[in-house]
Amino acid sequence: AMEKKKTYIIHMSKSQMPATFNDDHTHWYDSSLRSVSDSAEMLYVYNNVVHGFSARLTPQEAESLETQPGILSVLPELKYQLH
């Protein structure tokens, strides 16, 4: 059965974006994601707070993505509470 997917925050190192993407970092993010999963959906692309995006991945896909060039970290989503 498909391993349960979870949401991850993926931090990218923009300085390692291949020139072929002509500065289109969203396209680069998407192609990085596609390299580990055909079905993964991108939730958000961040511009100010993170160079990266959030996506729904299996733990195995997350692990594989972490080894891709330009990926700084793949961190599991956290849940916060009101105080």
Partner 1 sequence: TTRTPTFLGLDKSADFFPESDAMSDVIIGVLDTGVWPESKSFDDSGLGPVPASWRGQCESGTNFSSANCNRKLIGARYFSRGYETTLGPIDESKESKSPRDDDGHGTHTSTTAGGSVVQGASLFGYAPGTARGMATRARVAVYKVCWVGGCFSSDILAAMDKAIDDNVNVLSLSLGGGISDYYRDSVAIGAFAAMEKGILVSCSAGNAGPSPYSLSNVAPWITTVGAGTLDRDFPAYVSLGNGKNFSGVSLYKGNSLPNKMLPFVYAGNASNMTNGNLCMTGTLIPEKVKGKIVLCDRGINARVQKGSVVKAAGGAGMVLTNTAANGEELVADAHLLPATAVGQKTGDVIRDYLTSDSNPTATILFEGTKVGIEPSPVVAAFSSRGPNSITPEILKPDIIAPGVNILAGWTGAVGPTGLEEDDRRVGFNIISGTSMSCPHVSGLAALLKGAHPEWSPAAIRSALMTTAYTAYKNGRAIQDVSTGKPSTPFDHGAGHVDPVSALNPGLIYDITADDYLNFLCALNYTPSQISSLARRNFTCNESKKFSVTDLNYPSFAVSFPAESAARTGSVPSSSIKYSRTLTNVGPAGTYKVTVTSPSSSVRIMVEPETLSFSQMNEKKLYTVTFTAPSMSSSTTSIFGRIEWSDEKHVVGSPVAISWT
String of contacts with partner 1 for each residue 49-78, x by CB under 8 A: xxx--x-x---------------xx-x-xx
> Of 23, 14, 24, 22, which is closest to residue 69 (Cα–Cα)?
14
Q: Candidates 18-26, 32-40, 48-56: pick the segment binding partner 1 (CB under 8 A).
A: 48-56
Complex with partner 1: residue 14 or 34, whichever CB lies closer: 14
* Residue 50 CB, nearest approach to partner 1 (Å): 6
Taken as a whole, the chain contains a residue count of: 83
> Of 59, 65, 77, 58, which is closest to residue 29 (Cα–Cα)?
65
